[in-house]
């Protein structure tokens, strides 16, 4: 009886009213335990882990257009020593002398609350408050972090992150000179150059670790097989208004790449000031138009 009533109600709805019912193409879905799934057409493409079970939030999995994982956790040859490699993550090795990169100290980046989330025509987003806390529990940095997924053609998508950083209890914050921080990706072994059939390419056309490592570029791309006859890739892009752009990239044949915010010199954020940074991850298939990719690196949405 209930099923018959539902069908009858559906038949009464006019085509115009049915078309007006909002079913977003891209959604951010809050899950238990501070986990947040991004879905395209109801299929999860990535998950943000914002709970405090790990020393920092991270994204896992990150699925490519083929529906297969592009990333992994840790390092195949040194899983314990590289446990801080958490698929897609944000951290920095030297923040007022505190190491938020390796997980050897009890410094933590904590998502304290989900502030808001929503969707537009072909994108969805979440905004969360984060605290960078020292081992002693002092808040060194306050951060507002926004993740946005934008749908593209052929099951490709952008994953954009905007970070708004402000000094915490210590006052001025210095991000020390290092090649570790802020945004990084650990690709699955099959996508890597060393363990699989992958290749690395930057905007200048340089190849693999020997050509790309520690060079400044608009973007760096890591592409490789995610299954039989299935090639997917992930591109890291730096927003052109970030300080020091174009920045250097830390890239290895064994499967990871990161943007180096303070590779050439330290950066000090004064009390009362804020720093806004933007990065893009482009998740794509085997066919990539490099000229178009360069333009995307220049023109992606303002922060």
104-132 residue pLDDT tens = 899 999 999 999 999 998 999 999 999 99
Residue 4: pLDDT above 50?
A: no
Tell me the pLDDT band of 20, cut-offs 50, 70 and 90. Answer: low
Cα 59 to Cα 67, 135, 183, 212, distances in angstroms: 16, 23, 11, 25
In the chain, % of residues over pLDDT 70: 88
Please name the residues in contact with 29: beta carbons below 8 A apart, sequence gap of 6 or more.
36, 37, 38, 39, 44
Q: pLDDT of 52-86, one tens digit each?
A: 999 999 999 999 999 999 999 999 999 999 999 99
pLDDT of res. 1: 43
Residue 298: pLDDT above 60?
A: no
Tell me the pLDDT band of 295, cut-offs 50, 70 and 90. Answer: low
pLDDT of res. 227: 93
Chain-centre distance of CA 82, in angstroms?
Answer: 18
Residue 290: pLDDT above 60?
A: yes
Q: Rounded distance, CA 237 to CA 293, Å? A: 10
Q: pLDDT of 126-184, one tens digit each?
A: 999 999 999 999 999 999 999 999 999 999 999 999 999 999 998 999 999 999 999 99
Contact 145, 90 (CB under 8 A): yes
Instruction: Summarize the confidence of residues 29-50 as an average pLDDT.
Output: 98
In the chain, % of residues over pLDDT 90: 84
pLDDT of res. 19: 61
Tell me the pLDDT band of 2, cut-offs 50, 70 and 90. Answer: very low
Tell me the pLDDT band of 288, cut-offs 50, 70 and 90. Answer: confident
Residue 196: pLDDT above 80?
A: yes
Across the chain, mean pLDDT equals: 91
pLDDT of res. 121: 87
Instruction: Summarize the confidence of residues 220-232 as an average pLDDT.
Output: 95
pLDDT of res. 268: 98
Task: Considering only residues 205 and 14, tell me which one the structure prediction assigns the higher pLDDT.
Answer: 205
pTM of the model: 0.91
Q: pLDDT of 242-259, one tens digit each?
A: 999 999 999 999 999 999
pLDDT of res. 231: 96
């Amino acid at each position: 009886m209930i099923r018959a009533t539902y069908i009858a109600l559906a038949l009464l709805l006019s085509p115009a009213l049915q078309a007006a019912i909002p079913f977003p193409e891209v959604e951010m879905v809050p899950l238990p335990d501070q986990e947040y799934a991004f879905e395209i057409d109801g299929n999860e493409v990535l998950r943000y882990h914002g709970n405090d079970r790990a020393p920092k939030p991270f994204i896992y999995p990150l699925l490519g257009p083929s529906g297969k994982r592009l990333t992994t956790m840790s390092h195949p040859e040194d899983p314990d020593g590289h446990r801080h490699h958490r698929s897609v993550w944000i951290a920095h090795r030297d923040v007022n002398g505190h190491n938020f990169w390796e997980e050897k100290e009890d410094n933590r980046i904590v998502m304290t609350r989900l502030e808001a989330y929503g969707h537009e025509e072909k994108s969805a987003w979440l905004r969360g408050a984060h605290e960078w806390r020292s081992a002693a529990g002092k808040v060194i940095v306050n951060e507002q972090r926004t993740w946005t997924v934008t749908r593209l053609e052929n099951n490709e998508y952008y994953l954009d992150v905007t970070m708004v950083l402000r000094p915490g209890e210590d006052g001025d914050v210095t991000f020390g000179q290092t090649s570790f921080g802020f945004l990084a990706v650990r690709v699955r072994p099959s996508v890597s150059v060393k363990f699989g059939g992958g290749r690395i390419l930057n905007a200048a056309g340089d190849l693999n670790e020997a050509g790309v490592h520690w060079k400044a570029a608009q973007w760096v791309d890591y592409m490789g097989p995610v299954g039989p006859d299935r090639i997917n890739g992930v591109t890291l892009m730096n927003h052109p208004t970030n300080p020091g752009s174009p920045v250097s990239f830390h890239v290895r044949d064994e499967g990871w790449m990161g943007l180096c915010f303070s590779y050439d010199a330290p950066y000090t954020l004064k009390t009362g000031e804020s720093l806004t940074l933007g990065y893009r991850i482009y998740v794509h298939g085997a066919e990539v138009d490099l000229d178009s990719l360069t333009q995307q690196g220049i023109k992606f949405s303002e922060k």
